[in-house]
Amino acid sequence: MSVENTPHTPSSGKNGTAVVVVRPAEGRRLIGEAVAALPQVKQRQQNGHMVVVGGSTNRHLIRHLTEGDPGCASFAIGWIRAGQLDETPRETRGEGPFLFEDGKVSRGWPGHLLERFGPGDLYIKGANALDADGHVSVLMGSPVGGTIGAALTILLARGGELIVPVSMQKLIPSVPKSCGLLGQGVVGRVMGSMPVGLMPIMAGTATVITEVEAFKTLFNVRAIQVAAGGLADCAGAMVFHLQGAPDGIESAWERLLEIRQACDDDPEKALEG
């Protein structure tokens, strides 16, 4: 495989197709931007109730909703880094999830806002895994289920909507088969300081937004993942084939280059990857 230092646009071929490489940090930004563009998110930003739970992808959603950056290190609580399952020290954490109530924004534990949730209200929480059948799952470091444990039963009981931004980088063979394997006190040894349980979220229970849905939402192009992995800064990268109208392909291409530059300029680049 030959490699060039800059993206290559062929002088001939099908203008309605492209192959792009999306690095993990770029995928998170792309997904965050797409979630911010969803009609129901725009609506709940001004009317009704919406909770955005901390995470490395939701950081970029908040950037689009508030024009402020909550940061990665202080906004994402649970971590998989340095070869360990761990969490952000309490003294360096931010103020908690972002709470939207009829156009007003605050931060803190979402319990009181969840009590007022009704049909169509939104809870946006990232995931640690997804599978090809559309199931997703969340690791739980809290013995009482954390932010997903607090919300899921209320959402299901009252008709709220759970939106799960999650990268195709986190694809696993089967979420159902992983159920029952984890649990605090169940596993003999854990790499890191945080034993975890697992919350499965079955297909159809949540609106799942990956890079595939992001390309469709933002540029109206079809994306199919055709490869994964790489070296150095492309460890964990995804390769997508894009197909659509030429202007959509061009917009996607140019936006990815802008996102790539933003990732390179990010002061938390070493953390985001």
For 214-230, the pLDDT digits (tens) are 999 999 999 999 999 99
Which tens digit of pLDDT belongs to each residue from 12-60?
Answer: 345 799 999 999 999 999 999 999 999 999 999 999 999 999 999 999 9
Residue 176 pLDDT greater than 50, yes or no = yes
Which CATH fold would you assign to the domain 25-210?
A: Rossmann fold (3.40.50)
Domain ranges in the chain are 25-210
CA-closest candidate to residue 273, choices 68, 72, 75: 72
pLDDT tens string 57-114? 999 999 999 989 988 888 888 888 889 998 887 777 778 999 999 999 999 999 999 9
- For the entire predicted model, the pTM comes to 0.92
Confidence band, pLDDT 50/70/90 cuts, at residue 250: very high
Q: How far is CA 184 from CA 57, 79, 82, 137, in A?
A: 26, 16, 21, 16
